[in-house]
């Protein structure tokens, strides 16, 4: 079950992205939000801190929380967020199609593994379509040593939800590698791109909180439809 501040955070994000609170306007005060949501100011502060961290607002002393311009099709660089979570948060109305679901070893060269390192996995390839346009090809290798089986229904829905809510696993951390590469012939066909188009490849390796390796991922994004952002704040060192 979500914590109260997380629920408030998601509702405020929904209102910001749907311009209930337009860009350059101010959110209601902490007291007003606490009254509206029937909670404490401390809970509201936690929700606002999440908005601040993720680039939705900027705090101005004596004025409040200023709403910043935010592109709902801009993926955050940091953080481990599932596609379904982003879809629900930003009302993208994505359709997911499972293209492949089979047993396969993690490709060593693609993820800079030693050639002797054999990692059996379940391979899932999914296409994300928004407003009838193919946008992203997600390829996931989930280690069978951690998750022995994945059904098509799970692949169609959310892997993270299955890991965390059904299996009780706790996602811990990961890394991401971003490169711009020419699309393969297969990728051009799936994403309806002209030959030799550029795509953005995002490769990731995910661990559980106990450091167990669980997943290798490569997402191929159409360069003309998505951009990636990191909201940075000045910190002196």
pTM, two decimals, is: 0.69
Domain architecture of the chain: domains with CATH: 4-67 (1.10.10.10), 74-229 (3.40.1410.10)
Which residues neighbour 146 within 8 Å (Cβ) at sequence distance 6 or greater? Answer: 169, 208, 212, 213, 214
Is-contact 66 51, C-beta < 8 A? no
Q: Enter the DSSP assignment of 86.
A: H
Nearest one of 106, 117, 137, 135 to 205, comparing CA atoms:
106
The candidate with the shortest Cα–Cα distance to 221, out of 206, 205, 203, 207, is: 203
Span 57-93, pLDDT tens digits = 888 888 999 988 765 545 554 454 555 655 555 555 7
Separation between Cα atoms, residue 28 and residue 45, nearest integer Å: 12
pLDDT in tens, 119-131: 999 999 999 988 8
CA gap 11, 71 in Å, rounded: 17
């Amino acid at each position: 079950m979500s914590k109260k501040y997380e629920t408030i955070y998601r509702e405020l994000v929904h209102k910001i992205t749907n311009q209930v609170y337009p860009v350059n306007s101010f959110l209601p005060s902490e007291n007003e939000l606490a009254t509206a949501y029937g909670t404490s100011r401390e809970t509201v502060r936690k929700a606002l801190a999440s908005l601040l961290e993720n680039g939705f607002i900027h705090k101005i002393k004596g004025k409040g929380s200023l709403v910043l311009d935010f592109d709902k099709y801009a993926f955050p660089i940091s953080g481990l967020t599932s596609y379904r979570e982003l879809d629900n948060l930003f009302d993208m109305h994505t359709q997911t199609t499972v293209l492949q679901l089979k047993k396969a070893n993690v490709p060593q060269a693609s993820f800079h593994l030693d050639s002797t390192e054999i990692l059996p996995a379940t391979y899932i390839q999914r296409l994300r379509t928004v407003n009838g346009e193919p946008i992203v090809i997600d390829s996931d290798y989930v280690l069978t040593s951690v998750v022995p089986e994945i059904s098509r229904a799970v692949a169609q829905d959310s892997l993270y939800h299955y890991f965390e809510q059904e299996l009780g696993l706790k996602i811990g951390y990961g890394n991401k590698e971003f490169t711009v590469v020419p699309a393969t012939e297969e990728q051009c066909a799936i994403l309806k791109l002209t030959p030799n188009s550029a795509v953005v490849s995002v490769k990731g390796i995910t661990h559980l909180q106990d450091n167990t390796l669980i997943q290798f991922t490569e997402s191929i994004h159409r360069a003309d439809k998505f951009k990636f952002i990191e909201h940075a704040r000045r910190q002196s060192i």
